[in-house]
Structure 1
Amino acid sequence: MNRRTVLLAISAAVAHPLSSVVAHATENFDDPAARLVSVTAGGRTMTFSRNDLAALPQTRFETKAPWIATPAVFEGPSVAALLRAFAPEATFERAEIGALDDYMVAAEVPRLVADGAIFAIRQDGAFMPVAQKGPVLVIFPFDDRPELQDKSHFGLCIWQISQIRLS
């Protein structure tokens, strides 16, 4: 490694000390038992592994999207199922969903629930590796509900999810 590469790495770490690249540097994202997805609201945090998410009631549908050449079967807990597991008595209006690379989308929780969004952990029966949009992906039943096939819904399909902040 040359001096310039080392200096760039150090300056990136100093500039972004809390970035997910640094925070998750030692995690094995493809290990189903690794606790990778944190859900936070009102000072409370729970962290879920894919195994934890798989233990929740599952929703399964076949669909395609602009980034999927052929229809695939996606499976995972619905947004409502994950929220019940996190805080059974609470209601939430907004979710900020963040990815491993710090990309984030904001969504109205009632819209996610009404439109059938799931936190997909499996594609065609297998856990999704990070290299294929895992460990968790928000996706909608686009083929079952063609009215969802718009830029707004496609834009909510965030992958490599690592955090969910609720309010």
Structure 2
Amino acid sequence: MLHIALKTIAICLLAAQPLAAENLGQPSGEVVLTVSGAPQTGNAGGAAQFDLAMLEGLGAVEFETSTIWTQGVQHFEGVPLDQLVDRLDITGTTLRATAINDYAVDIPLSDAVEGGPIIAYKLNGEEMSVRDKGPLWIVYPYDSKTEYQSEVVYSRSIWQLDRIEVIE
């Protein structure tokens, strides 16, 4: 009985530990997102690289919302920003999200909350091409809270995202 109890405690302790990026594995497909500057990153020389399958493996959420860039309500699917932050054990105050064309925005780490923004990789059930704001787009559930319907939040909704850096 003691053996089972100790085994259960050990499993609980392991489950409570954040998984280091070394345990992410290596991308087998095209790298769509690189995260740098986090203390636990490390599957790519000080950074964490993700292919689409790896992002999907972090756990997907879906929501519908309207945007100022599209017509009508759209269906988005992606990994919650808070899950990515938790998975990589990111601490600090600011993330710099950068697009393929080097356009960058700063996002406060405080935005990475449950029910908050996602790193969307599907729009209306389809992967997004670069031409259609993909492959990744930071999307907030704009219709869920009035505070998400502001110019400040809209400015953080970067599309063609390909890298995130923890800067502060």
Q: TM-score range by the shorter chain?
A: 0.7 to 0.9
Match of 1:38 in 2: 34
- In structure 2, C-alpha distance between the alignment counterparts of 1:104 and 1:125, rounded to whole Å: 27
- In structure 2, C-alpha distance between the alignment counterparts of 1:65 and 1:101, rounded to whole Å: 22
- In structure 1, C-alpha distance between the alignment counterparts of 2:51 and 2:108, rounded to whole Å: 24
Match of 2:81 in 1: 79
Amino acid at match of 1:38: T
Shift of 1:52: 1.1
CA-to-aligned-CA distance 1:62-86 (integer Å, 9 cap, x gap): 0111111111110111111112222
- In structure 1, C-alpha distance between the alignment counterparts of 2:38 and 2:78, rounded to whole Å: 25
Are 2:37 and 2:165, in contact at CA under 8 Å, matched by a contact in 1? yes
- In structure 2, C-alpha distance between the alignment counterparts of 1:92 and 1:76, rounded to whole Å: 23
TM, length-normalised to structure 2: 0.74
Which residues of 2 match residues 72-151 of structure 1 at below 5 A? 72-87=74-89, 90-113=90-113, 116-151=116-151
| Matched residue SS, 1:159 | coil
In structure 2, which of residues 62, 69, 72 is the aligned counterpart of residue 70 of structure 1? 72
Shift of 1:60: 0.9
Amino acid at match of 2:61: T
CA-to-aligned-CA distance 1:45-70 (integer Å, 9 cap, x gap): 01111221111111211011111111
Q: Do the aligned partners of residues 86 and 47 (structure 1) sit closer, same or farther apart at CA in structure 2, a change above 3 Å counting? A: same
Structure 1: segments with no counterpart, 5+ residues? 1-31
Residue identity (%): 26
| Matched residue SS, 2:34 | strand
Match of 2:154 in 1: 154
- In structure 2, C-alpha distance between the alignment counterparts of 1:147 and 1:110, rounded to whole Å: 14
Instruction: Provide the aligned length of Structure 1 versus Structure 2.
Output: 134
Shift of 1:33: 2.7
Shift of 1:41: 1.1
| Matched residue SS, 2:142 | coil
| Matched residue SS, 1:39 | strand
- In structure 1, C-alpha distance between the alignment counterparts of 2:107 and 2:117, rounded to whole Å: 11
- In structure 1, C-alpha distance between the alignment counterparts of 2:51 and 2:74, rounded to whole Å: 23
Are 2:60 and 2:77, in contact at CA under 8 Å, matched by a contact in 1? yes
Are 2:85 and 2:112, in contact at CA under 8 Å, matched by a contact in 1? no
Which contiguous aligned blocks of 4+ residues in structure 1 show a shift greater than 4 angstroms? none
TM, length-normalised to structure 1: 0.74
| Matched residue SS, 1:113 | coil
- In structure 1, C-alpha distance between the alignment counterparts of 2:37 and 2:119, rounded to whole Å: 18
